[in-house]
Amino acid sequence: MTLSRVLIAEDDVDIQKVIRMSLKMRGVQEIVVTENGEDCLAQLRNFQPDVILLDVMMPKLNGYETCKRLKANPATSGIPVIFLTAKAQHFEVKEGLDAGALGYLIKPFDPMTLHDQIAALLQKK
Amino acid sequence: MPGPSMQTSRLLRQFLAVSGIAAVAVLVLGLVLISQLEADNDPAHKRTLVSLFTGFIMIIVLLMSWIHARLVWRRLQRLLRGMEQIRGGDYPYLVVEGNDEVADVVRGFNQTVEELRHRDEKLKNWAGQRETELVKLSQSLEEEREKLDTVLDAIGDGVIVLDSENKVLMANQRVSEVFGVPLESLSRADLNKLIDQVRHRLVNPELVEEKLRQMQADPSRIEEITLELDEPGGQAIRLYCAPVRGADGKVLGRIATSLDLGRERELERLKTEFLSTISHELRTPLTSVKGALGLIRGGAVGTVQSEMRELLDIALTNTDRLIRVINDILDVFQLERGQARMRPVSMPVAQSVTRAVRAIAHQAAGRRIKVETSVPDALPNVKGDPRRIEQVLVNLITNAIKFSPPESSVQVSARLGGEMVVVSVRDHGRGLSGDFQERLFGKFEHAQGALTRENQGAGLGLAISRHIVSAHGGRIWVESEGEGQGSTFSFSLPAAERTGGALLLGGRQDEAVPAGPRLILVIDDDEDVARVISYVFETMGHRVISAHNGREAIELARRHRPDMMTLDLVMPDVSGYDVIRELRQVGDRRRIPIICISMEFDPGRAISMGADYYLEKPVDIERLREVAERALATPRGGNPS
């Protein structure tokens, strides 16, 4: 599947850059970065991404809650959500998937294969 | 004292004596009367005299009888009063009057009273002594009881002693708080009724009732009952009920200790929170470091010169090492808490050995250590989670390499031991002292001291391995002749059931393995991926046909009966799992080896359904070649080794 529009919610500026470069390298055309869950939800009013990459620990609205709100809203419930987070414990992964995410990728990730991992998860959908 | 029948009664004689005096008096008066009557001629006067005389006699007789009876009655009255006094608790002494039978009775009475008094005094003395002893005993018992109560109350956890009918014999203050019943009311209370009182607060009433039933059905059973209370903070109490036996081994009752899981859970929560936070805080900067280095190394900002690549590789290797430590810490704590999932399937040990040896090949080469493997073909499969078993092997072989001198070798072998398959990793390193062997499988243990050790690592690998092996129903151990003698680490895993030899590895020759080019079916919905995989097989000299969806794959597999196939698990409509299910139907004697190439989270599922190998995307070309060679070398109808 071709990945061309990605919305990222990530509060760490350095990680934002890494994700952005990693995806751009593989031909993703539009990448919108937000710094917290609230901004991510707001951004969806004028941006329709192929996938949303969500961090968990973010100011204002955390990733789990953001994902639940996305899935509760009929306008956004169809957008695939993938967590990209440093929260790696078993129960944390479960919480993310229970919130309605399509997949759960754990940081640190390999920037050279991030695109493939996202694409594989989207295929699963 | 003579009895009344032995001689004439003294009382009778007394009476006769009184009567005799009266008779003499009557006789004298009678003689006087006769003389008067002889002298008197008046008949009327005579009659008067006779009448008076007769009356007088009667009066005398009556008087005498009354006096005698009165005397006897008075003495008997005193005896009766004496008896009354005895009943009232006195010991009277009666004056002995006369020497008749009544006097004898009075004497006997006095003697009996004296004996009684004496006996009573002895009894009182004895009772007094016993009472003193009893008071002392009672005081001592009370002191002991107070001590016991103090000790019981000082125990933070509840303690209940129950009789054979589950009635409370003894309990401490904590138990009273747990059940919300005053301590005094607990005595003789029924445990079932106590639990009934908190039933409405229980999250798990059915489970608790079932446990109580089991405990009553088998009094010798040691039972653990967890009372989960549905309230803010989710208080939970665990009752450990163990039987109390008499000298003859008979169950007399039970002793139950209640442990408040609240504190335990709070500690657990803090530990989890700490791990979560520390893991997150370490992973976040490492993500930037690994990401930035990885992008530069991957050419995202331009061509990388060889020296720069070398330096970037050093940085990336060490970043990965740090990440492994964090992963190991999380892993060991999750394994300890039973949170790590195991997905055991029937799997060949040889496969895990090969993969593990490949994973550490670079490390072994760096230390110039040769890793030799010896896994018999006829070894049965084991029940294991392939990734976890490989993790154990990587840990053991990595340790063996670390502690082996350069230019030496490490042997990895497997054998069948009863119902278990035993895998061993032998090194020729410095060996282990006896005391260290004992604690080797604990967390953060190192062969050398923390400040003197030569080798890296957090000391978690063996602890993780122990948990993984235990979770599979196996055992891990180490043997070493001592320092300087090398060591052998072994672990056992339950052998998978053999079904008509179907799980036996390569050795069975159902049919000869043909030589020369073979036909391979490549299935992947991504045409680019399918093309790359096909190219790999074509360079190996094989013919390739490809399918881009599950339906097409099944059709081609049935029509061409290829010698091997690679399969993507995630495809639209008919998934890779459906393809495996379809091709692995009962009676499929010409079994096509299947190599799954996917990014599925759950490789165990595919293996359990009948796939032979699992390779993760992006696939390593060398690894794909090796697995393909192995799969093609396996006779059709047998399983891959």
Q: How far is CA A116 from the centre of its chain?
A: 14
Which pLDDT does position B72 carry in this prediction?
82
Which pLDDT does position A47 carry in this prediction?
93
By DSSP bridging, strand B543-547 and strand B564-567 are: unpaired
Mean model confidence pLDDT for chain A: 91
**What ranges do the domains of chain A cover?**
5-124
Query: Is residue B437 left, alpha or beta, with left meaning phi > 0 and alpha meaning psi from -120 to 50?
Result: alpha
CA A99, A103, A108, A112 torsion-angle sign: negative
Which pLDDT does position B496 carry in this prediction?
79
| Chain A residue closest in CA terms to B281 | A86
pLDDT (tens digit per residue) in B414-467: 998 888 899 999 988 877 766 666 667 765 555 544 443 445 555 788 888 888
Helices (H), B230-376: 261-297, 306-336, 349-359, 361-366
Homologous superfamily of domain range B345-494: Histidine kinase-like ATPase, C-terminal domain (3.30.565.10)
- CB of A125 within 8 Å of a chain B CB? The answer is no
Inter-chain CB proximity A109 and B287 less than 8 Å: yes
DSSP-derived letter for residue B455 is: S
Give the best residue of B273, B277, B288 to mutate against chain A (max A CB count within 10 A).
Answer: B288
Inter-chain CB proximity A111 and B291 less than 8 Å: yes
Give the ipTM of the model, two decimals please: 0.76
Inter-chain CB proximity B291 and A124 less than 8 Å: no
In this structure, the number of other CB atoms found within 10 A of the CB of residue B639 comes to: 19
- CB of A121 within 8 Å of a chain B CB? The answer is yes
Contact map slice: A 70-109 vs B, CB within 8 A: 86-92, 106-109
Domain B152-264 belongs to what architecture?
2-Layer Sandwich (3.30)
The distance of A26 to chain B (nearest Cα, Å) reads 10
Cis peptide before A108 (omega within 30 of 0): yes
| Chain A residue closest in CA terms to B337 | A90
**What ranges do the domains of chain B cover?**
1-143, 152-264, 268-336, 345-494, 519-633
Residues of B in contact with A111 (CB under 8 A): 290-291, 294-295, 298, 300
Of residues B464 and A42, more confidently modeled = A42
Residues of A in contact with B276 (CB under 8 A): 87, 89, 92
Which pLDDT does position B451 carry in this prediction?
40
Q: Which parts of chain B register pLDDT below 50?
A: 1-6, 448-454, 498-513, 637-641
Give the best residue of A11, A21, A25 to mutate against chain B (max B CB count within 10 A).
Answer: A21
pLDDT (tens digit per residue) in A59-107: 989 999 999 999 999 999 999 999 999 988 878 888 999 999 999 999 9
pLDDT (tens digit per residue) in B486-541: 889 999 988 875 433 323 222 233 334 455 678 899 998 877 678 778 877 877 78
Inter-chain CB proximity B283 and A107 less than 8 Å: yes
Report yes or no: B97 and B104 within 8 Å, Cβ to Cβ: no
Which pLDDT does position B485 carry in this prediction?
79
Which pLDDT does position B454 carry in this prediction?
46
B205/B225 Cα distance (integer angstroms): 11
- CB of A123 within 8 Å of a chain B CB? The answer is yes
Q: Which residues contact B36 (CB under 8 A, 6 or more apart)?
A: B49
- Smallest Cβ–Cβ distance between A120 and the set B275, B284, B617 belongs to B617
Nearest to B14 by CA among B79, B113, B80, B101: B101
- Type of residue found at A60: K
- CB of A12 within 8 Å of a chain B CB? The answer is yes
Contact map slice: B 295-314 vs A, CB within 8 A: 295, 298, 300
CA B465, B470, B472, B478 torsion-angle sign: positive
CA B343, B557, B498, B415 torsion-angle sign: negative
CATH code for the structural domain at B519-633: 3.40.50.2300
Query: Is residue B197 left, alpha or beta, with left meaning phi > 0 and alpha meaning psi from -120 to 50?
Result: alpha
DSSP-derived letter for residue B496 is: P
Residue in the block written with tokens 């901004």: A39
Q: Which residues contact B519 (CB under 8 A, 6 or more apart)?
A: B542, B543, B544, B545, B560, B562, B563
Inter-chain CB proximity A92 and B599 less than 8 Å: no
- For B183, list phi and psi in degrees, rounded to 5: -60, -40
- CB of A59 within 8 Å of a chain B CB? The answer is no
Which pLDDT does position A23 carry in this prediction?
94
Which pLDDT does position B511 carry in this prediction?
38
Which CATH fold topology does A5-124 show?
A: Rossmann fold (3.40.50)
